């Protein structure tokens, strides 16, 4: 009897996470973010994940995201970042960004639902997740600068 109660509770938690994730994506506040590339400025509207709960949930359970949107993870200090794609259905480009807004490295076209670790090469403060392949399409490269209220207001 205890095991079935525990299973029911776990199912309820998973359902709650799914519903909360969907509600957050529709109602989430977005902030402006710009990436200056050799080919020009690329503008995004990003959701901010700056606490443990938001960073843990990230873009899990979402089935799509407009190209001009993304999610910016703020770790509040520089550290070696590590991500996985568990419960994430959208292929993503992960842009690892230093505290000064410089893109340190890019993990392009990460594999949906993978539990393989995707890591920054060094210490970063932010990670920007955008649709997979978009970095290449827009000419975004390591060394490019990320700016805007989404970064400056957190300095």
43-89, pLDDT tens digit by residue? 999 999 999 999 999 999 999 999 999 999 999 999 999 999 999 99
For residue 107, the tally of other CB atoms under 10 A from its CB is 20
Any domain includes 6: no
Of 41 and 155, more confident: 41
pLDDT at 150: 79
Q: Which pLDDT band holds residue 26 (cuts at 50, 70, 90)?
A: low
131-151, pLDDT tens digit by residue? 999 999 999 999 999 999 878
Order of strands across the sheet that contains 69-83: 103-107, 92-97, 118-131, 69-83, 40-49, 31-37, 145-147
Q: Whole domain around residue 139: which residue ranges? A: 29-152
The domain total for the chain is: 1
DSSP string, the chain: -HHHHHHHHHHHHHHHHHHHHHHHHHH---EEEEEEETTEEEEEEEEEE-SHHHHHHTTTT-----TTEEEEEEEEEEEEEEE--TT--S-EEEEEE-TTSBEEEEE-SPPTT--S-EEEEEEEEEEEEEETTHHHHHT--TT-EEESHHHHTT-
Any domain includes 17: no
User: Cβ distance 46 to 95 under 8 Å?
Assistant: no
User: Cβ distance 87 to 124 under 8 Å?
Assistant: no
Any domain includes 4: no
- Tell the residue number behind the tokens 């050799």, with chain if given: 38
Any domain includes 61: yes
Any domain includes 110: yes
Of 102 and 28, more confident: 102
2-22, pLDDT tens digit by residue? 444 444 444 444 444 444 444
pLDDT of residue 1 exceeding 60, the answer is: no
Any domain includes 19: no
Whichever domain contains 136, its CATH number is: 2.60.120.1140
Any domain includes 119: yes
Any domain includes 2: no
């Amino acid at each position: 009897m205890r095991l079935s109660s525990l299973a029911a509770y776990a199912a309820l938690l998973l359902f709650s996470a799914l519903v909360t994730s969907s509600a957050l994506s529709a109602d989430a506040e977005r902030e402006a973010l710009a990436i200056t590339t050799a080919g020009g400025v690329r503008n995004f509207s990003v959701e901010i994940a700056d606490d443990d709960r938001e960073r843990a949930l990230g873009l899990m359970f979402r089935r799509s995201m407009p190209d001009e949107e993304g999610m910016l993870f703020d770790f509040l200090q520089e550290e070696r970042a590590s991500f996985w794609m568990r419960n994430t259905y959208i292929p993503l480009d992960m842009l690892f960004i230093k505290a000064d807004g410089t893109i340190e490295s890019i993990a392009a076209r990460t594999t949906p639902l993978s539990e393989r670790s995707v890591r920054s090469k060094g210490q970063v403060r932010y990670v920007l997740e955008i649709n997979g392949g978009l970095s290449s399409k827009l000419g975004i490269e390591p060394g490019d600068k990320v700016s805007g209220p989404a970064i400056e207001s957190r300095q």
